[in-house]
Amino acid sequence: MLNRFLKSRGFLNIKKFLNAKRFLNVCVLLLACLLPGCKDDEKRDANVLMFGTCADYPPFEFIQDGKMIGFDIDLAKLIAEKLGKRAEFKDIALSSILVSVQNGLIEAAISALGATAERKKNYDFSSPYYKESLALLHRKDSPIQTAEQIGTKKIASQLGSIPEKWLKDNAKAQVVSMDSMNQTAEAVKAGHAAGALMDSVSAREFANKNKELAHSIIVDDLEGSDGFSIAFAKGSPLVKEVNKVLAQLVESGELEKLEKKWKLND
For 70-100, write each residue's pLDDT tens digit. 999 999 999 999 999 999 999 999 999 999 9
Residue 47: DSSP 8-state: T
pLDDT at 224: 65
- Asked if the domains 44-131+225-261 and 134-219 are classified in one and the same CATH topology, the answer is yes
24 pLDDT above the threshold of 60: no
- Write the CA distances from 211 to 58, 138, 167, 185, 204, integer angstroms: 17, 11, 26, 12, 11
CATH superfamily membership of 44-131+225-261:
Periplasmic binding protein-like II (3.40.190.10)
21 pLDDT above the threshold of 60: no
Mean per-residue pLDDT of the chain: 86
Q: Could you tell me which CATH number the domain at 134-219 has?
A: 3.40.190.10
Q: What confidence category does residue 117 fall into, taking pLDDT thresholds of 50, 70 and 90?
A: confident
pLDDT at 29: 37
Q: What confidence category does residue 2 fall into, taking pLDDT thresholds of 50, 70 and 90?
A: very low
226 pLDDT above the threshold of 80: no
pLDDT at 62: 95
Q: At what angle do helices 254-261 and 238-252 cross, to 10 degrees?
A: 80
- Write the CA distances from 75 to 67, 82, 178, integer angstroms: 16, 11, 26
163 pLDDT above the threshold of 80: yes
7 pLDDT above the threshold of 70: no
Amino acid (one-letter) located at 115: A
pLDDT at 227: 85
* First and final C-alpha spacing in the chain: 82
Domain residue spans of the chain: 44-131+225-261, 134-219
Please tell me the pTM assigned to this model: 0.76
pLDDT at 143: 96
**Cβ contact 178:189 at 8 Å:** no
Q: What confidence category does residue 222 fall into, taking pLDDT thresholds of 50, 70 and 90?
A: confident
User: What is the rounded CA–CA span in Å between residue 266 and residue 262?
Assistant: 9
pLDDT tens, position by position, 184-203: 999 999 999 999 999 999 99
Q: Which distant-in-sequence residues (6+ apart) come within 8 Å of 143 by Cβ?
A: 214, 216
From the list 206, 208, 213, the residue with the least C-alpha distance to 190 is 213
